[in-house]
Amino acid sequence: MEPRGVGVLVSGQGTNLEALLRAEAEPGFPARVVGVAGNRGRCRALQLAADRGLPTQALPAGRFGGDLRARDAALATWFHGVGADLLVCAGYDRVLQAPLLEAFPGRILNVHNSLLPAFGGGMDAVELALRHGVKVSGATVHLVEGVTVDGGPIVLQAAVPVEEDDTPATLLQRIHRQEWVLLPEAVRLLAAGRLRREGRRVRILPAAAGAPAAAARR
């Protein structure tokens, strides 16, 4: 079976993109990155993709007069043009708008550096967790929907204990190590049709019982 095309949305360093690229090199991985787009003209993740020979696109909102819906409509068109069938938000620091969500219904994954639903909705989850005094943080991969930021059904999670002397940087680094495992695995499951949504719950189907990836839709 041909691998499913994955479009990746980025804003920063691209470490989760690197994890996906490592995973797709594994025999039998059911997906491959076909294009990488970002909301900044310059970021390491876009340069990394360009260095790998992948199609890249930078679409800052300023190019659309601040119209986020127009920008995301352009993103949807571009991703379809490079052959993306599902999307991954890999450190993307913008909220997806309806044109992009509607173009890839039930086929968008996001990775967030907390154990959702705790500390969702922003890019400062690690700082908030430390400020709150939690003993356990972690990483979450979820399906993206347009109701609540970071509020989509959870696919995978991993817990990361908080150490007494942790700073935001040290805790984030350990959370990142979990993200680099979870995100490729979630892409593997979605691309192989092994995710089935049942209300708020996402059930992981056995490999032998896989169904088309559309099973992850409502």
Residues 135 and 161: beta-carbon distance below 8 Å: yes
Q: What angle do CA 41, 148, 176 make, to 5 degrees?
A: 55
> With b meaning 16 or more CB within 10 Å and e meaning fewer, what string describes 61-95?
eeeeeeebebbbbbbbebbeebebbbbbbbbbebe
Active site residues per annotation: 112
To the nearest 10°, report the CA torsion of 181, 187, 191, 192. 30
Residue type, position 212, single letter: P
**Radius of gyration from C-alpha coordinates of the chain:** 17
Q: State the sign of the Cα–Cα–Cα–Cα dihedral 5, 11, 16, 22.
A: positive
Residues 182 and 139: beta-carbon distance below 8 Å: yes
